[in-house]
Amino acid sequence: MNLKTVIENMNDLTKVTVAGEIDAYTAPKLREELLPLAEQSNPQLTISLRDVSYMDSTGLGVFVGLLKNVRKNDGELRLVELSDRLERLFTITGLNDIIDISSKAEGGVQ
């Protein structure tokens, strides 16, 4: 159960690439890495989930909390490059209605 994150600052955009599994074991680490980014003034976060092989409800909770903090600081959050499985997870839970998600790369994410 490994999780790897790569954070890149590109002008006004912060691009985060996440790889591995997001579950009860790894979610606290992910939250710890992402929360400071969301607490900046006007954060513009694009998070690629291309290499995420598994996510459970604790992972969803990380992104809901992240979205709250981003909005509190007048920013934007985009989740990109979701697998069909992850996109279905966000759709089933209704989170696709509140979080900007896309199966395609956007905002300079390759």
Q: What is the mean pLDDT of residues 63-89?
A: 96
Residues β-bridged to residue 9: 14
On the question of pLDDT at 22 being above 60, the answer is: yes
pTM, to two decimals: 0.90
Distance (Å, whole) CA 110 – CA 89: 23
Distance (Å, whole) CA 28 – CA 83: 22
Q: Predicted confidence band at 1 (pLDDT cuts at 50, 70, 90)?
A: low
- pLDDT score recorded for residue 102: 84
Q: 24-70: per-residue pLDDT in tens? A: 999 999 999 999 999 999 999 999 999 999 999 999 999 999 999 99
CB atoms inside a 10 Å sphere around CB 109: 20
Which domains are delineated in the chain?
3-102 (3.30.750.24)
Closest CA to 103 of 64, 69, 66, 52: 52
- As a whole number, the mean pLDDT across the chain is 92
- pLDDT score recorded for residue 96: 94
Q: Predicted confidence band at 106 (pLDDT cuts at 50, 70, 90)?
A: low
